[in-house]
């Protein structure tokens, strides 16, 4: 296949959700509500952590603030384009825009996976080594771990993107999703992608699965090391919110990336879970189960309405 043939496809069509305009109007309102909720909830957490001296000095809340920022970035990679496409009959995206979207999706997504692993380590130190917590989880180490999460996401995404852009696209250009992701895009390539698929599954799939196993193992270790019933109940209460976030985020990711790249009818709904629903639920999960965050939010609200 010559070079001219490989450069034929310069844009893709996104399949979206429904061809019926009345249904898409309802979906637009629903996803707009989700996206506004993501911004309100996550910005509120970031502002609350930054404005409260205690929360800002705590490693756990410092990491929570970073998680909220990643959730904002992650949902913004796909949701604005999704909202705009509800008004477009032909849901077009250029080849370059598709690759950029794919890059940032995996960049921010992998960074969030690594950060959730860091947060699990933070909980392990806080519960199993409480006397050494502030020494071990210093602000310097937290900054290094956050930077390492971003760097890990960058390396992961760079590998995924390089493998994708070297594929020739000269025929079908219908991406069976509402955004550009590796599985639906590489199936459109005019070449044998078996080896590429194996490499990508071993990259995205392995990272998702290993991170999830490490997270579950860390929380299991915490519960095993705590002997008293009261201490175990307290640990369960502390870690429950983290476990909910981990399950909501990693479950769909493993389902999408840790299997061969065959399209299933449920893929779009699963994609909605980790692209839209999880970033929206994270602030609720953490604040509703956390008295310190709720108290800090109340103080912030008092400051705002009294102009202090």
User: What pLDDT is recorded for position 4?
Assistant: 45
Q: Supply the pLDDT for residue 7.
A: 54
pLDDT on residue 273: 84
**Choice between 30 and 273, residue whose per-residue pLDDT is larger:** 30
Q: Which of 77, 202, 102, 114 is nearest to 161 (CA)?
A: 102
Task: Report pLDDT for 2.
Answer: 46
Give the DSSP H or E segment for 190. none
| Predicted pLDDT at 244 | 79
pLDDT for the residue numbered 79: 93
For the chain, which residues make up each domain, given as ranges?
Answer: 19-299
Domain over 19-299 is classified CATH 1.20.1560.10: no
Which tens digits make up the pLDDT trace of 45-82? 999 888 888 888 889 899 999 999 999 999 999 999 99
pLDDT score of 270 more than 90: no
90: three-class secondary structure by DSSP: coil
Give the number of other Cβ atoms within 10 Å of residue 277's Cβ: 17
Q: What is the pLDDT of residues 184-235, one digit of tens each?
A: 888 888 888 888 888 888 888 888 999 899 888 888 888 787 777 777 777 7
Residue 1: the pLDDT is 42
φ/ψ (deg, to 5) at 98? -65, -45
Helix (H) and strand (E) counts in the chain: 14, 3
Model pLDDT for residues 123-173, shown as the tens digit of each residue: 888 888 888 888 899 999 999 999 999 999 999 999 999 989 888 888 788
Mean pLDDT of all residues in 238-267: 78
- Give ∠ CA 285-80-158 in degrees, rounded to 5: 85
- C-alpha distance from residue 233 to each of 217, 226, 228, 288, 289 (Å): 18, 10, 9, 18, 14
Residue 156 confidence (pLDDT): 93
pLDDT for the residue numbered 265: 63
Number of neighbours of residue 264 by Cβ within 10 angstroms: 12
pLDDT at 141 (0 to 100) = 94
The burial of 92, by beta-carbon neighbours within 10 Å (0-12 exposed, 13-18 middle, 19 or more buried), is given as middle
Say if residue 297's pLDDT is above 70.
yes
- Alpha-carbon span 168 to 95, nearest angstrom: 12
Sheet of strand 92-94, all strands in order from the earlier edge strand to the far edge: 92-94, 11-14, 174-175
The vertex-115 CA angle with 111 and 119, nearest 5°, equals: 175
d(CA 87, CA 277): 22
pLDDT bucket at 263, cuts 50 / 70 / 90 = low
First to last CA, the chain: 68
Contact status, residue 253 vs residue 208, Cβ threshold 8 Å: yes
pLDDT tens string 81-113: 999 988 887 888 999 999 999 999 999 999 999
Going by pLDDT thresholds of 50, 70 and 90, the confidence category of residue 262 is low
């Amino acid at each position: 296949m010559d070079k001219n043939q490989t450069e034929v496809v310069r844009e893709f069509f996104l399949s979206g959700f429904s061809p019926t305009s009345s249904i898409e109007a309802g979906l637009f309102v629903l996803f707009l509500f989700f996206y506004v909720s993501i911004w309100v909830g996550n910005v509120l957490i970031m502002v609350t952590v930054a404005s409260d001296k205690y929360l800002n000095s705590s490693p756990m809340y410092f990491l929570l603030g970073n998680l909220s920022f990643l959730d904002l970035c992650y949902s913004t990679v796909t949701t604005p384009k999704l909202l705009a496409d509800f008004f477009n009959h032909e849901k077009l995206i250029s080849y370059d825009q598709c690759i950029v979207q794919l890059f940032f999706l995996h960049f921010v997504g992998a960074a969030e996976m690594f950060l959730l692993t860091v947060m699990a380590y933070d909980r392990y130190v806080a519960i199993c080594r409480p006397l050494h917590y502030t020494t071990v989880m210093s602000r310097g180490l937290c900054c290094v771990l956050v930077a390492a999460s971003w760097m890990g996401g960058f390396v992961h995404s760079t590998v995924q993107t390089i493998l994708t852009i070297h594929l020739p696209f000269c025929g079908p250009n219908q991406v069976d999703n509402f955004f550009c992701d590796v599985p639906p895009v590489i199936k459109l390539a005019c070449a044998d992608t078996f080896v590429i698929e194996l490499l990508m599954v071993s990259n995205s799939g392995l990272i998702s699965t290993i991170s999830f196993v490490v997270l579950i193992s860390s929380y299991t270790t915490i519960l095993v090391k705590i002997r008293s019933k009261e201490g175990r109940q307290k640990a369960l209460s502390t870690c429950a919110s983290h476990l909910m976030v981990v399950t909501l985020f990693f479950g769909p990711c493993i389902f999408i990336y840790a299997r061969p790249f065959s399209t299933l009818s449920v893929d779009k709904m699963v994609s909605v879970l980790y692209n839209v629903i999880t970033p929206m639920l994270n602030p609720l999960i953490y604040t509703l189960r956390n008295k310190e965050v709720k108290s800090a939010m109340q103080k912030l609200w008092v400051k705002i309405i009294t102009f202090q």
